[in-house]
A and B are shown apart, each in its own frame.
Chain A
Amino acid sequence: MNTQAHLELTKVSIDFPTNDGPFRALDNVTLKIDKGEFISLIGHSGCGKSTVLNIVAGLHRATEGGVILNGKEVIEPGPERAVVFQNHSLLPWLSAYENIELGVKQVFKGKKSKAEMREWINHNLDLVHMTHARDKRPDEISGGMKQRVGIARALAMQPEVLLMDEPFGALDALTRAHLQDSLMEIHAALGNTVIMITHDVDEAVLLSDRIVMMTNGPAASIGEILHIELERPRERLVLADDQQYNHYRSEVLKFLYERQKRPGEDSETTGAARSGDSDTVTKSTASENPPEMTELRVVSG
């Protein structure tokens, strides 16, 4: 890792105001990310993965700590940190082309001519294999196609960091596999830094350079970080029988289902304690995972 990281989260904590006082959703999240790295955030529902992403995007401000991109603090949203939203968030009244155009016009105003912009939009549609549906509105195309357009919209902003909030969560398995392959192609070609939230262990291992596993909330933090040292390009069929791949998979599964039980399961086992004092749950996880992040490096070979 460089001394000056590309993207750096330092002791990020966030409190949300509630009627019973502030609620600490994230506590002390520290992470350094290199340029071109593919990071996955994985953890149980409600552990604050989306909050981390939103803080990097600038949609939320951290209560303590902060995010630095290329030596500059992140204080507001901006197109250099493009977001692919879980539910695609395309404007339903615009065609695929127009949806991308909205961003391109804003980002490249005065930098590209009209013809260059048109060229650039078409290029990005082509990148996600959506040229055939450029004039279709979102309600006329399938869920996977919408997500492709959403990715194209984000890529067309030429972002330094691509933030993806469970981009394939709502898709069926086959479509998801297609899009994962597309995403790997694009990442290999463009080399953007990517932070992706996922629930899918296979997806995380297949795509990532590092998997950041988060502890359960409240006051969620980084539990462990797993380095995935698999050769690229990765082929899902080849990897399915790969020992190393399966080892990584089981590491993530162990973290999620042994060390970090689902909040629901917790309340079943320690139901009485939880209903009275929710701190018990946090304490038990905190004792297993020291506040400083522990990096779990699996040596390959």
Chain B
Amino acid sequence: MSTEITASRYRSWDLPLIEKLQGFLSREVASAKAARLVKSIVVSFGALGIFLFLWSVLAAQVETSLGVLPGPAKVWEQGVVLLDEHKAEREKEVAFFERQEKRNAEKLARNPDAKVKIRPYTGKATFLDQILTSLLTVITGFLIASLIAIPIGIVIGMNETLYAAFNPIIQLFKPVSPLAWLPIVTMVVSAVYVSTDPMFAKAFITSAITVTLCCLWPTIINTAVGVSSVDKDLINVSRVLRLPWITQTMKIVLPSSIPMMFTGLRLSLGIGWMVLIAAEMLAQNPGLGKFIWDEFQNGSSNSLARIMVAVLVIGFIGFLLDRGMLMLQRKFSWDKSAALR
């Protein structure tokens, strides 16, 4: 410590910015860090470059009924087109409302008692709208699943009898593809969710429940395992202290099962996102899945490139969702040093 202080004093004639940096990092650490950073950047970009190169070369070899399989350049071009289409649609919407307002104002000017109608805009959903719908659906389904699964996981993790009771049910339903549930969920939602002025669209509810059904199991299982594998010595500490049940749960059981719980949550969210896209394709519910299916049915020369844009966006959003969960885990877990991947 003292050597560092003298060192920084010695270099006081240096540029102030550099000196500031040295306050944070000694020179060796900084250079080692920089070297690692450069290396990781070179490696990632190198790999990405090779991937793009192979893609463009190999895709050009594949002739489909919709033309040559698009390479990166074509996909990028369509990505820009999709953005432009979104902007155009928004401008149309603004113009629509302006026209409507103007019309209504004129109407009122002529006759103050006239009834004015305000009509909603019914343009077609753009790519960005579909992304938003899918995101909202997956998050809703995931939150419902977590609210159900975490308490169940905690309870069956603490009670062996309940665990034995729940286990066969979990084991039976866990391997079922949620898409198999889709027809049942659709029918049940149409039968049960009857309202003249629905707050949510039926399609939204159906998709969200399908996501919920597949998000339940990993969270239940991992939470139960986390809760039941609390260090026996820590439980003994609690017994010696005669901690009440609720204190033991809050102070000992929950903190020690949080890492496992988050493993379950991350698995759930990942599966939920994958399943949602498939469910949207199958059920023609609004979202990215529907976008892909529509493009496929459309069969224009740009369709494949547009589908590839969607594929990349789906992957990127999945990545962001997982990172988000990791950040939450870092926030909630006591063990900040644990390797989080």
- Cα distance A202–B334 in the bound complex, in angstroms: 39
Give B243-264 as 1s and 0s: 1 = Cβ < 8 Å from A's Cβ atoms.
Answer: 1000100011001100000000
A69 within 8 Å of B by Cβ? no
How far is it, in angstroms, between the C-alpha of A103 and the C-alpha of B247 when the chains are bound?
A: 11
Instruction: Mark A67-101 against chain B: 1 for CB-CB distance below 8 A, else 0.
Output: 00000000011110111010101011110000000
Interchain CA distance A59-B334 in the complex, whole Å: 28
Once the chains bind, are A91 and B240 in contact (CB under 8 Å)?
Answer: no
| Cβ contacts under 8 Å, B231 to chain A | 89
Q: How distant is A273 from chain B, measured CB to nearest CB, in Å?
A: 35
The answer to whether B241 and A106 have CB atoms under 8 Å apart is yes
Interface contact B234-A89, CB-CB below 8 Å: yes
Other A-B contacts than A78-B242, A102-B243, A139-B335, 7 sampled, CB-CB below 8 A, are A58-B240, A79-B240, A83-B237, A89-B231, A92-B334, A93-B256, A107-B241
Taking CB atoms and an 8 Å cut-off, the chain A residues in 131-157 that contact chain B are 137, 139, 157
**Which residues of chain B come closer than 8 Å to A137, judged between CB atoms?**
334
Residue count of chain A within 8 Å CB distance of chain B? 24
Do residues A139 and B337 form an inter-chain contact, with CB atoms below 8 A?
A: yes
Q: Which residues of B contact A (CB under 8 A)?
A: 231, 233-234, 236-237, 239-243, 247, 251-252, 255-256, 334-335, 337
Q: Bound state CA distance, A106 and B334, in angstroms?
A: 23
Cβ of A59 and Cβ of B236 under 8 Å apart?
Answer: yes
Report the minimal beta-carbon distance from B265 to chain A, rounded to whole angstroms: 19
When distances are taken between beta carbons in the complex, the residues of chain A under 8 Å from B252 are 91
Q: How far is the CA of A269 from the CA of B243 in the complex (A)?
A: 49
Give A79 Cβ to nearest chain B Cβ, in Å.
Answer: 6
CB pair A103 B234 closer than 8 Å: no
Question: Does A57 belong to the interface (CB within 8 Å)?
Answer: yes
Residues of chain B with a CB closer than 8 A to A139's CB: 335, 337
Take A87-B233, A91-B234 as given contacts and tell me if A157 and B241 are in contact as well, using a CB distance cutoff of 8 Å: yes
Asked whether, in the complex, the Cβ of B239 is within 8 Å of the Cβ of A77, the reply is yes
User: Which of B240, B247, B335 has the largest number of chain A CB atoms within 10 A?
Assistant: B240
CB distance from B272 to the nearest CB of A (A): 29
Q: How far is the CA of A81 from the CA of B239 in the complex (A)?
A: 11
Establish whether residues B335 and A85, one from each chain, have CB atoms under 8 Å apart when the complex forms. no
| B242/A77 in contact, CB under 8 A | yes
Judging by beta carbons under 8 Å apart, are A102 and B251 in contact?
yes
7 residue pairs from A and B, CB less than 8 Å apart: A58-B239, A76-B239, A77-B236, A79-B240, A85-B233, A93-B256, A93-B334
CA distance A107 to B244 in the complex (A): 12
Contact residues in B for A93 (Cβ distance below 8 Å): 255-256, 334-335
C-alpha gap A85/B240 in the complex (Å): 11
Of chain B, the residue at the smallest CB distance from A81 is: B240
Q: In chain A, what residue has the closest Cβ to B251?
A: A102
Residue numbers in B under 8 Å from A79 (CB-CB): 240-242
B-side contacts of A87, CB under 8 Å: 233
User: Whole-angstrom distance from the CB of B67 to the nearest CB of chain A?
Assistant: 58
> CA of A85 to CA of B231 in the docked complex: distance in angstroms?
12
Is the Cβ of B255 less than 8 Å from the Cβ of A91? yes
Nearest neighbor of B233 in chain A, beta-carbon distance: A89
Task: Report B-chain residues with C-beta under 8 Å of the C-beta of A103.
Answer: 241
CB distance from B247 to the nearest CB of A (A): 8
Q: Are A85 and B237 in contact (CB under 8 A)?
A: yes
Residues from chain A with Cβ under 8 Å of B247 in the complex: 106
CA gap between A89 and B241 in the complex, in Å: 13
Interfacial chain A residues near B240, Cβ < 8 Å = 57-59, 77-79, 81-83
- Within the complex, what minimum Cβ distance (angstroms) separates B195 from chain A? 46
**Which residues of A have CB within 8 Å of B335?**
92-93, 139
Cα separation A139 to B334 with both chains bound (whole Å)? 11
Contact call B236/A106, Cβ cutoff below 8 A: no
Alpha-carbon distance A87/B240, docked complex (angstroms): 16
